[in-house]
Chain A
Amino acid sequence: MDKQDIIKPENLVYKKPTLMNDNPMHYCPGCSHGVVHKLIAEVIEEMGLENKAVGVSPVGCAVFIYNYLDIDWEEAAHGRAPAVATAIKRLWPENLVFTYQGDGDLAAIGTAETIHALNRGENITIIFINNAIYGMTGGQMAPTTLVGMKTATCPYGRDPKIQGYPLKITEIAAQLEGTAYVTRQSVQTPAAIRKAKKAIRKAFENSMQGKGSNLVEIVSTCNSGWKMSPVKANKWMEENMFPFYPLGDLKDKE
């Protein structure tokens, strides 16, 4: 059988989600952001919420997510996405409201907004991309940078005596009364991606059913910031990030 005989519309099994448009993404080759964007688009399509989804984009690399996914977007000041999402969800309770934030946005300047929005039990979902570095500004140390990890602003490795310890926001969120579902996933293999998609779907369903706030952390790579090839960055993440940021559900209030 020839390749041309297989390539027919009735044999189609996977294509780029329709919500993701054809604008070329500005992300570096192999960036985890693209995979998570795709998952969000797929979940929104599967839930049939194309006209009801409102995302809040962060400050950081993912600020341009509004150029790539064809749903409604609102851009928030640095770290303030959960506060903006709170307002949108309270004004339009029937809409699906989520924020998409990186670790520099959510775990540094926006810690207060994040923790209080989660603790109030706002019916929103926070997608938290944790790549342990400030990617957009050139690879500086983030609150989530691992001990010993080298970045532009800690070239000899993060030293807890000087810079303190990495912040586990997801563990903190699991302790809060307002959260319904807190999980940590990754997107480096097809199996992990399928699990992450299920987690995002569950978080979105929870927020539509008014169960409380949801946090989905995605342990990701920043191969440019880490100065590695995309394949090597995935391996480095498995070896170094997963022991400190173990994957799995931290809280699931049924």
Chain B
Amino acid sequence: MAKVKGAIVVDTERCKGCSLCVVACPLEVIALAKEVNLKGYNYALQVVEDKCNGCTSCATVCPDGCITVYRTKVE
């Protein structure tokens, strides 16, 4: 059965660390980084590599449009 795999890219300099994407992610693959960006915010990051299925929930709720989502089918 084909499996769906996804990945997200966060524009860490644009991110304001509101953590709405962390809550919106059904698979809990996003968390806030310990490091801060130039604005001083703890930015969001994909911390679990394998689990993301590219459902775009995080990107949809992101108020600043920082998240780009990719998805592909794996045989």
Contacts and interface: CB of A to CB of B under 8 A. Distances in A.
Interface residues of A, number: 37
A7 B70 contact: yes
A229 B69 CA distance: 25
Interface residues of B, number: 34
Interface string A5-26: 1111001111111001010110
Nearest to A5: B72
Contacts of B14: 22, 24
Residue from the set A3, A11, A14, A189 with the largest chain B CB neighbour count within 10 Å: A14
Contact of B17 (A14, A29, A234): A29
B24 A189 contact: yes
Given A29-B41, A35-B63, A14 B69 contact: yes
A212 to B, nearest CB: 30
Given A24-B14, A29-B41, A189-B24, A6 B63 contact: no
Contacts of A53: none
Contact of A231 (B19, B67, B70, B74): B19
A12 B54 CA distance: 10
Contacts of A234: 20
A16 B9 CA distance: 12
Contacts of B5: 1, 6
A30 B59 CA distance: 13
B70 A8 contact: yes
A193 B61 contact: yes
Nearest to B13: A24
Contacts of B59: 14-15
A166 B10 CA distance: 39
Residue from the set B24, B41, B61 with the largest chain A CB neighbour count within 10 Å: B61
Contacts of B19: 30, 229-231
Contacts of A15: 59, 65, 68-69
A64 interface: no
A31 interface: yes
B45 to A, nearest CB: 12
A29 B43 CA distance: 11
